[in-house]
């Protein structure tokens, strides 16, 4: 029986992909990295920011110091935060609001568990905080996904056993984290990019809450 649904944020409830892409693109233009494009950007899905910087710099043939990695990560986040000022409820993905509303109506506990330190500002801007019982973000955790800590912490704060939780994720690392936490999983997106999800739909408009709770 599913007693709680734990959502990843970006790519599941909201889409800030374009904002992330534009932030990375600006940084890459400054650094002279001409290889960066939408396809390369997909490598960053569900990956923590410092790891993204390492992937980027390795592709550029760089051997940066830890301080240089931190500086680039901070610069990218600064650019992203500037763009976040533009975020509105229009960034909510199809079915996201309706799903949260119906879960609330049925007294099913809900949480967001995200690696991102920007999760709470985004949630406030798209006006869904009222439908969430718990928010776990990058400030709360020591280990990013695929480590299970974000989901286990969310379950603990919800006071629900991991086995009674369903995770909704759009990234391979997130699915791995959910499995490691002993939770059920629904994938959001395309099978091509999410081969490890046992169940998958394009977005939350493609599944009813009843179907969600009976996975």
Active site residues: 8, 10
* Separation CA 75–CA 137 (nearest Å): 20
Q: How many residues does the chain have?
A: 215
Torsions phi, psi of 197, nearest 5?
A: -85, 130
Residues 6 or more apart from 28 whose CB is under 8 A from it?
Answer: 34, 36, 56
Identify the CA nearest to 200 among candidates 179, 169, 178.
Answer: 169
Q: What single-letter DSSP state applies at residue 189?
A: S
Q: Under a CB-based contact definition with an 8 Å cutoff, are residues 3 and 165 in contact?
A: yes
Look at residues 128, 149, 124, 125 and name the one whose alpha carbon lies nearest to residue 139: 149
* Lookup: tokens for 151: 């989901």
Nearest to 178 by CA among 189, 168, 192: 168
- Burial category of 12 from C-beta neighbours within 10 Å (exposed 0-12, middle 13-18, buried 19 and up): buried
Q: Are strands 134-136 and 4-7 parallel, antiparallel or unpaired?
A: unpaired
């Amino acid at each position: 029986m599913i007693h709680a649904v734990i959502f990843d944020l970006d790519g599941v409830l909201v889409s800030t992909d374009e904002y992330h892409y534009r932030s990375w693109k600006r940084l890459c233009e400054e650094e002279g990295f001409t290889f960066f494009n939408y396809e390369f950007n997909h490598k960053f899905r569900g990956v923590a920011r410092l790891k993204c910087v390492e992937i980027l710099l390795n592709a550029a043939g760089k051997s940066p110091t830890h301080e240089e990695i931190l500086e680039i990560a901070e610069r990218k986040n600064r650019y992203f935060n500037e763009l976040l000022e533009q975020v509105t409820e229009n960034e909510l993905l199809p079915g996201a609001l309706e799903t949260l509303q119906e879960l609330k109506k049925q007294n099913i506990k809900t949480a967001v568990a995200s690696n991102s330190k920007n999760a709470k500002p985004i949630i406030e801007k798209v006006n869904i905080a009222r439908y969430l019982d718990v928010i776990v973000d990058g400030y709360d955790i020591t280990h990013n996904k695929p480590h299970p800590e974000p989901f286990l912490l969310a379950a603990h704060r919800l006071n629900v056993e991991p086995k009674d939780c369903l995770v909704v994720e759009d990234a391979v690392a997130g699915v791995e984290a959910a499995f490691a936490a002993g939770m059920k999983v629904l994938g959001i997106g395309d099978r091509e990019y999410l081969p490890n999800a046992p169940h998958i739909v394009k977005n939350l408009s493609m599944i009813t809450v009843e179907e969600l709770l009976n996975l």
